[in-house]
Each structure stands twice: as structure tokens, then as C-alpha cells.
Chain A
């Protein structure tokens, strides 16, 4: 019998985990209370944690049960698909989804449609032609436009530099929609201003330490860089350290994206020129609010804009 102990122990561990989950995450919904699932890209980024907070507030106010799930890695489109498939199995009443991939999400949206579960999209748009081709439909899109945000950043830089600048860009992970749109917006804002020269555009994969290293390398190659746009604040904050290490603090105009707490502080201090603020908490709030209303039979507008602003 003694030898069976590890088996029993393993079962106990598993059962323990399950129980704990039930109490903390509310696996057993109260009867009659509709269940809304919010699936974000990851929960290890402040952006989505804010979104979760907004969603929780709205769920309490609307009297719905909320489940929040995400893949470990922001870019893991397959894992996100699996999570949504599993939530469909669990028969949640409505899905609020921030797609990790705008095309890759389409097959699972179709599955939700087939199960009669309404899908509300937040933050990142589903690719419209792909959705149409697959015969899927979403209830609404709630978010702000990354392209517009990038454009705001570009316009601000243009004005601040008086039309003359040597610009470096820190990109996110190549092939990532969000980053691509921000960069496209930024570049479009600079079109028609020949004095605004982009001398380097390199990926730093959304990460702070890479923002530091990549920008340091860029400074080696292009010591004349005097303006920088990073597709997110983490990379911008990393680059700030590289700028400080090079003794160039204040000589390079740095613009980021996301308006993280730390970035806002840097803007106040003057080490950063500005950052683009989205309102993820509002996205989560509106997403869950509308999910509850859709379940009551209301029809949302196809597009619900969440304001974007430039913090300077």
C-alpha cells in the first residue's frame, strides 16, 4: 500500500487545485446568472490587467458571472483558440474576445456562432474579409484604432521637431497586427515631410530589455538620431536607459505607446516627450456591459469607439 502513496498524493494535489479554482474563479455559476467570458491576449501585461479590472466592475454592476482567461503568451494564437473552444464547451452565454490574431481568430468565431454564443470583439479587429469568407459574424467591435494612435504620435513628432528629424523606430514582434498598424499610422503622418527621415526601424519584440539593447545598437550606427518612436512603452522605457547610458538624456525626443504608469511618470519628468493612451479598462467595461445587454436581446452598434488620446 505504501507504494501507492505517490498516486494518492498526486490525486490529492489535483483535487486540491480543482477545488481552489472553484472557489476563487467561481467555476459553478449561480443558477440563472448568465456567464460572460472575457478572453484577452495575455494577463501578464498591464494593458490587459486594466481591461480585466474594467470588465470585473461592469460584471458586478450588470449582475453577470465573469470568467477571464488568456494564453500565457500574447502571440499564441492557437492557445487562444483552444481556450475559446473550451469555453464554448462550457456553454458560456457570451464571449468578449481580444483576438491575438485578427485572421486566426475567425474559425473559432464561426464555432461560437454555431453554438449560438454571441461574440463581442475588443481591442483588436477581426479581419473583415476573412470573417465574411468564413460566414462568421461578431456582435460588435469595441476599441480604439491603433492606426489612429500611431498617426497621433507621428503628427506630434512632426510638430515638435519642426519638420526636421533623424528618426529611429522600435518595432514590436514582426508580423504582429497591433504593431504593424501603429507603425503604419506613424509613417503615414510623416508622409509629405521630407525633412523627417527614418534612419532605422528595428524590432525589439515589445520587450524592455530588448528596447535597451536595440536602441543602444542603433545609437552606435546612427549617432545623429534625435527622435524615436517605440510601438509600445516598454521598449521606449528600455531605450530611455540606453539614452541615459549614452549621456544623451533630453537630446532625443522619445514617444511611446500605451501610456503605462511608468511612461506617464517619464513624460511628467520630461525624459519622454509623449505617449499614446488607450483606455483598456473602458474597453473591458463596455465589452461586458454590452455582452449583458446582448443577452437581454439588445443589438449593439457595429462599432463602439473608445477614445484615444495623446499624453504629453
Chain B
């Protein structure tokens, strides 16, 4: 059987998208509460944090790396920003401080990997612990909470009926997609992940770009922290534990290869939405939380299997 050309061209995303559509259809049939405007906006908002972490991780994974520290960076950046807000800093400046901390942690990751020649797994595993410790030290282990309305607007506000966090997510994804597909930074990301040696020999400044990729990863995790803090009206030093695993799941469901060199941010967005829809649907259905974990695992595996199948049929 030959696939229609439109599908064949986008085969990489099609498998994931098919899972997404089937999932939505099945849940819509099982519960009337799913396919409503308020609930779909609800799902979108619940997807935002994971989606923001995952988009940075997509860059890292396409470049052939991994970043285990994003959950801890989220916590660290969040509490630094929260402190700044509590000290009365203007909101944009406080956000900048938080994102700066995230990007800074990413920079350290990148330098250790590019110039220190550490495997990404090791460097970011170390950072995972360092950033978590930093978050706990900065707060004495206590949550920092209570912010002004202008900051909370980032979570509670709407523009033309669309919640602000969802808007941020859409803008970030649009930008990340364009950068990955249309710029040198994007092309080099694929090239480094595809074959680092060959990239180096053909004159790609591999170390510089690799470092940059981890800075992006850390910065986007910190952006997730900004929205999470606004959403909860609190920054917790223990926030984001295991979020790196959710983000990795969203990325691989979205068809990005853990071997590097392949993937797309649109796929990752669908991957994150699949996880969001699944959790939302299982809650709506009142499924026990133990069965939920089994179902989520099954869907991750099924999605990646399907993706592999569509990739093969493309050849």
C-alpha cells in the first residue's frame, strides 16, 4: 500500500497526529465533558509547562544530547524570580533574572559538554543536583509565594479569549519552529546531531553551537518556571521533580529520535498535547490513578511504535 503524497511528505508527524486524533475521538465518545471549549482551553493550559520544557529539550535531543537538569533548573529559576518579585523588582526585570538563571545553568551545561568534553548525560545529571540544591539553599527549603496581580496576569489573563500561557506557548513554538527550519542555528542543530565529526570537518563551529543549544534549553525551562510560578502563585524549591522525564516523553512521542539528527518541534507539541489530553481524559473518566500510569505508558510506547511504522512506510 502506498501512502497518499501529502501524508508521505509529513509522515514523521503523521503517526503522532493520528494517535492524537484517535485519542481525542475515543475520549469524546466516552465522556461528554471532554469536547467543550472550556475543557479544551483547560487542557491547553495544563500542557503549557511540559510543552515549554520539551521544546528546549527537542533542540538538545536533535543535536544528539540529553538534558536531565531541566526540572531542577525550573525550580531554581522559579525561586530566584520569586525572590526578586518579593523584593519589589519590576515584573519584567524579575522574569529576566529568572530566565537568566536558567540560561546560566544551561550555559554551564553547554560549556561542560562542549569544552569539558563531558557526556551530556553526566554533565546534566550533575546540574540536576546542583540546581536543585541551589533552589533549596535560596529558599531555605520553603516555598516563596504571594505575588502582585500584574504578575499573576501571566497565568490568569486572556487576550481575545485565549489564556496568556497558551498564547506564550504558541508564540514560542512558532519561533522555535522557524529557527529550527529556517536559520543556521537550526541547520547546525540537525547537522551536529546527524554527524558531529562531519559537521566539525565541514567547518561548523560545533562547540559554540552546542553550548548555545543548552543555553536555549535552560532558558526555556526557566520560562516554564515563570508561568508555573504565576499559575500556582508560588515558587517551590521542590517544583519540577521528574519533569524532565515528561518532557523527554513528549519529545519522543513527537517523533524526535533519541539518537539525534531527526525531529521537529511541531511533533513535540503534539506529543505534549497527547500527554495533556490523556491525563485530562482519564481524570474526566474517573480512572484510578494506578490505571492511569499504565495507560500513559502504553500510549507512549504505542505512539513511538506507530511513528516508526510510518517512517518505514515512507521509505
Contact = CB atoms under 8 A, between A and B. Distances in A.
Interface in A1-33: 1-3, 6-7, 9-11, 13-15, 17-22, 24-27
Contacts of A60: none
Interface of B: 1, 18-19, 22-23, 26-27, 30-31, 33, 36, 38-39, 42, 45-46, 49, 136, 139, 141-143, 145-146, 155-156, 228, 231-234, 236-239, 241-242, 279-291, 293-295, 298-299, 302-303, 305-306, 309, 313
B222 to A, nearest CB: 16
Given A73-B241, A90-B33, A175-B143, A10 B234 contact: no
A14 B280 CA distance: 14
Contacts, number: 163
A91 B289 contact: no
A244 to B, nearest CB: 30
B233 A104 contact: yes
A82 B282 contact: no
A17 B241 CA distance: 28
B146 A133 contact: yes
B22 A7 contact: yes
Contacts of B22: 7, 10-11, 14
Given A75-B238, A82-B283, 18 more contacts: A3-B313, A11-B22, A13-B302, A14-B299, A17-B287, A18-B27, A27-B287, A43-B289, A69-B283, A75-B241, A85-B45, A91-B33, A104-B143, A127-B145, A130-B145, A134-B233, A174-B238, A180-B142
A89 interface: yes
Contacts of B139: 175
B285 A25 contact: yes
A40 B1 CA distance: 50
B31 A104 contact: no
Contacts of A68: 288
B287 A1 contact: no
Given A17-B295, A173-B238, A101 B283 contact: no
Nearest to B25: A11
A19 B291 CA distance: 12
Interface in A152-180: 173-176, 180
Nearest to B302: A10
A25 B281 CA distance: 13
Contacts of A6: 302, 305-306, 309
Contacts of A7: 18, 22, 306
Interface residues on A, range: 35 or more
Contacts of A72: 289, 293
A70 interface: yes
Contact of B232 (A71, A81, A89): A81
A141 B302 CA distance: 43
28 contacts: A9-B302, A10-B303, A13-B302, A14-B23, A15-B26, A17-B294, A18-B30, A20-B291, A21-B287, A24-B291, A25-B288, A27-B284, A27-B286, A81-B231, A81-B232, A86-B280, A86-B284, A87-B283, A90-B33, A91-B33, A104-B143, A104-B145, A104-B232, A104-B236, A106-B233, A175-B143, A175-B236, A175-B237
A270 B236 CA distance: 39
A103 interface: yes
Contact of B228 (A78, A127, A175): A78
Contacts of B239: 77-78
Contacts of A15: 26
In the A-B complex, the 6 residue pairs with the closest CB atoms: A174-B141, A86-B283, A21-B287, A175-B141, A25-B286, A104-B232
A104 B242 CA distance: 19
Max chain B CB contacts within 10 Å: which of A17, A24, A70?
A17
Nearest to A173: B238
Interface in A64-119: 67-73, 75-78, 81-83, 85-87, 89-91, 101, 103-104, 106-107
Given A10-B302, A21-B291, A78-B49, A69 B136 contact: no
Contacts of A21: 282, 285-288, 291
A175 B142 CA distance: 4
Given A6-B306, A10-B302, A17-B295, A104 B234 contact: yes
B292 to A, nearest CB: 8
Nearest to A176: B238
Given A89-B38, A101-B232, A82 B288 contact: no
A89 B282 contact: no
Nearest to A24: B288
A25 B294 CA distance: 15
A19 B287 CA distance: 10
Contacts of A73: 241-242
A67 B288 CA distance: 9
A24 B294 CA distance: 15
Interface in A121-162: 127, 129-130, 133-134
B110 to A, nearest CB: 27
Interface string A189-209: 000000000000000000000
A95 B7 CA distance: 45
B238 to A, nearest CB: 5
A9 B303 CA distance: 11
B143 A71 contact: no
Contacts of A85: 42, 45-46
A174 B1 contact: no
Contacts of B18: 7
A27 B285 contact: yes
B236 A86 contact: no
A47 B99 CA distance: 39
